Amino acid sequence: MALDLSSVGFTTEPRSYTYDWKTLALYALGIGAKRDELDYLYEGTNAGMNVYPTFAVIPAQEPLFETLARTGGNFAMVVHGGQKVRTYGPIPSAGTLTTTATIRGIYDMKKLAQVVIDTTTTHGGERIFETTWSIFFRGEGGFSGPRPVADPDELSIPKDREPDFTYAEATSPEQALLYRLSGDYNPLHADPAFAASVGFAQGPILHGLCTYGYAARAVVRHLCGGDARRLKAFAGQFRKPVWPGETIVTQGFLMGDGKVALQASVQGKPDPVLTGAYAEIA
């Protein structure tokens, strides 16, 4: 099934997403938050509920899937290639957010087609965050289309020095079952028979955005003093699957001017699972 190239530029109607503290606590638990991150888990703290900025991917899900459907692609062939979040103000601890999504482009990667989708979310008419999604459709390349455009903000991992921090954190065997409650119900992350049918005989894999959230929390812990409001941008490309129960090791390299180059891997395995990753810290 060829993708509909005329869908480039399509923008959804505004979609509303209403949430409360329970939504935020569930998301934080889904990306591994622990008792010492109580401000992100308990509505009764003196300062009020804090929000990890990677929560921005949750309100964007409905308009994202609308744009993907507009391309005419086969959802069974979808692979999440990369993710970027940029915030412009604190995310409220409850309320209604409004999001629109736009198909920026469809790019030819020979065997794959890459669809890049941008979303903008507002609260009370004020922009509070944007997301960019890189979605691959397997088997849809080779249509002589434009090649992907590199992210100008991407940073390279320094090869001549040790990381400024390394943080290893185990996921639970139930991590994917917990994360999916925030809205991504793909059976690949829950159903062993389905996972095996699409090539994952070891069992359901962790959501890429769960790994992404673990890495962002590592940055908040080590470089933001636990204050996620200082994390203004976070991006990464998904390279390898992670299975629930594995330990995610995040490494960060300070690059100056509040910029951090990052990568994440699974303990005991040689290849990174998150590459081309970076953060911007206020």
| Local structure of 9: helix, strand or coil | coil
User: How far, CA to CA in Å, does 82 sit from each of 46, 135, 142, 166, 254?
Assistant: 36, 7, 21, 22, 22
Q: Residues 247, 75, 216, 226: is their CA dihedral positive or negative? A: negative
Q: How far apart are CA 218 and CA 180, in angstroms?
A: 21
Active site residues: 184, 189, 205, 208
* Region label for 252, one of left (φ > 0), alpha (ψ between -120 and 50) or beta (otherwise): beta
Secondary structure letter of residue 57 according to DSSP: G
| Local structure of 69: helix, strand or coil | helix
Count of CB atoms situated within 10 Å of the CB of 142: 12
Question: What is the token pair recorded at 85?
Answer: 């979040």
Helices (H), the chain: 21-30, 61-70, 175-179, 192-197, 208-223
Q: How far apart are CA 59 and CA 211, in angstroms?
A: 18
Q: How far apart are CA 225 and CA 49, in angstroms?
A: 17
Q: How far apart are CA 75 and CA 115, in angstroms?
A: 12
